[in-house]
Structure 1
């Protein structure tokens, strides 16, 4: 398996995880985000997405909806990209 195949498999796995979170609300936030961005992401961005997706759905949803501040360990720059993507979709 080549590095290109590895990253293709990783993208496919992360896209699946984005659409199958366990809560419909997060599916509808992370699924479209992954669809729109994942193919252009390299290993570093995939790491950032995976770290965010490792968070539990209830607090993650509160962060995306700006109901709570995320803890310090959360990549806020990347989270802001997810939030901006979601807000752009719901404002259409």
Structure 2
């Protein structure tokens, strides 16, 4: 069985497409984090990311732009990880998403 059709690969592709949002600003934060950090996250943080991308775009925008923090401490933790990653990484390659 090819890696492209393995359950893990299919789940990863699904996660990638769910990370693509209707707002360019969110794509610039979520996609690089998924591609560069997700595989190194602990299982609990991976679940938190999966939970986060089920939230509404408006909420994600407010949280990731640091206007407010999520009330849920699990979501707050993963949002802070995404923001820190964006601030410490050159993501210029993603500006053409």
TM-score by length of 2: 0.71
Partner of 1:81: 81
Shift in Å at residue 75 of structure 1?
2.1
Partner of 1:47: 47
Partner of 2:68: 68
| Structure 1 ranges of 4+ moved more than 6 A | none
Shift in Å at residue 43 of structure 1?
5.3
RMSD: 2.6
Preserved contact between residue 48 and residue 78 of structure 2 (Cα < 8 Å): yes
Count the aligned residue pairs: 88
Partner of 1:34: 34
Separation in 2, partners of 1:42, 1:10: 17
Q: Note closer, same or farther for the CA distance 1:69–1:82 as it changes in structure 2 (3 Å cut).
A: same
Higher relative contact order (CA 8 A, sep 6+): 2
